[in-house]
Amino acid sequence: MISIATPVYNEEKNISELVQRIKNACEETKENYEIIIVDDGSSDNTLEYIKKIHEKDKSVNYISLSRNYGHQGALWAGLDNASGDAVITLDGDLQHPPELIVKMVDLWRKGYEVVYTVKNGYEFKSKPLFYFSKLFYSLISKISDINLSFGQSDFRLLDKKVVKVVCDIPEKNKFMRGLVDWVGFKQTGINYTPPNRKYGESKFKISNYVNFALDGIFAFSIFPMRLLLWAGLILSFLCLSYAFIYIVLGIINFVVFENLFLPPGWASIVVSITLIGGIQLIGLGLMGEYISRIYLQTKRRPDYIIRECSL
């Protein structure tokens, strides 16, 4: 059996087409299937629509979360509760074409345990977002031990072995994209061109993407802290050299010119104080990022809470 897990948040206009297209694709694979739609605290009629479909068709199930936990929380809810031999996660806004399920299942039958997807020709909502995304993927691949290519998303197939491994990792704020790469297994990717959203609008603001990227970086890399250590070392060295030069100049000034020329001094003092202050603040901020993660981890709060579910 295969499971399809889809997070939705205020997607009432997409639900019926979504379910129909997923069902068509699943039928084509000739596998038994279950569809799990995770309602991430929608405020429109999304949940009612899914319930109506479930009444008529028991292969379509719902999980309703107690509030809006965000795309990642909803995805984990789907993965944790799926019971298929392979689980496919895809967005509920039809930007992840359900027809690709057929190809994914084919590759899974050939022995691949992870089939991920890479977007090509994707139209970004804005130019800055495009550059930001490119920067994020190249940065995280360089400064951590995971390797993510540009254009990845949470549209993928995972064998049940992989699902168990990633779900059992007791980490808060799990960065699914990173973890799936990190756990290894036999992986392959397929390319696709995502269509634009037909109905509804994107729920992600630029700040969501920035937070998501920071979560990814801080969950998988201690490089920022190391960078800080290096910056501190280099800066201390520069300041010491600077001090040394000024002592020598001071002596020359005193002995040779009999104190005739006085170095202005102010600018250099102010610059060095503010520079060091700035670096210290960055350092505190970075440490705060890691410490806040330890703090969240120790509280052991769940990533989502289920209100009701048909499984």
The contact set with ligand UDP (CB under 6 A) reads 7-9, 11, 40, 68, 70-71, 74, 91-93, 95, 202-204
7 contact, one of Mg ion, ligand UDP, none, CB 5-8 Å limit per kind: ligand UDP
DSSP secondary structure, 169-195, as one string: ---SS--HHHHHHHT-SSEEEEEE-PP
Nearest to 26 by CA among 64, 67, 57, 65: 57
Please name which of 81, 105, 80, 108 lies closest in space to residue 165, comparing C-alpha atoms.
Answer: 80
CB-wise, 74 or 180, nearer to ligand UDP? 74
Q: Given the complex with Mg ion, which of 9 and 69 has the nearer CB atom?
A: 9
Return d(Cα 58, Cα 56) in angstroms, integer: 7
Q: In this structure, what DSSP letter does residue 197 have? A: P
CB nearer to Mg ion: give 61 or 95.
Answer: 95
Cβ 211 to ligand UDP shortest distance, Å? 12
Shortest-Cβ-distance residue relative to ligand UDP:
202
Q: Pick between residue 85 and residue 303 the one whose CB is nearest to ligand UDP.
A: 303
Residue position matching structure tokens 């009629």: 45
Residues lying near Mg ion in the complex (CB under 5 A) are found at 93, 95
E-strand spans in 113-151? Answer: 114-119
83 versus 208: smaller Cβ distance to ligand UDP: 208
Q: Name residue 305's beta-bridge partners.
A: none
71 binds, among Mg ion, ligand UDP, none (CB under 5 to 8 A by kind): ligand UDP
Is the separation of the CB atoms in 7 and 96 below 8 Å?
no
From the list Mg ion, ligand UDP, none, partner contacted by residue 185 (C-beta under 5 to 8 A by kind):
none
Residue 33 · residue 84 · CB < 8 Å:
yes
Tell me what percent of the chain is helix, strand and coil, each rounded to the nearest 5: 50, 15, 30
Query: 249: number of CA atoms within 13 Å, CB side?
Result: 12
Residue closer to ligand UDP, measured from CB, 168 or 201: 201
The least CB distance from residue 209 to ligand UDP, in Å, is 8
Strand (E) or helix (H) holding 274:
helix 266-299
Least spacing, CB of residue 281 vs ligand UDP, in Å? 32
DSSP output for 96-108: S-TTHHHHHHHHH
Tell whether the torsion through CA atoms of 108, 113, 119 and 120 is positive or negative.
negative
| Nearest distance, CB of residue 169 and Mg ion, angstroms | 26
Q: Residue 11 or residue 159: which is nearer to ligand UDP going by CB?
A: 11
Shortest distance, position 298 Cβ to Mg ion, whole Å: 34
User: Closest separation between CB of residue 125 and Mg ion, Å?
Assistant: 10
Query: Pick from ligand UDP, Mg ion, none: which does 173 bind, CB < 5 to 8 A by kind?
Result: none
Q: Which does 11 bind (CB under 5 to 8 A by kind): Mg ion, ligand UDP, none?
A: ligand UDP
The least distance separating ligand UDP from the CB of residue 93, rounded to whole angstroms, comes to: 4
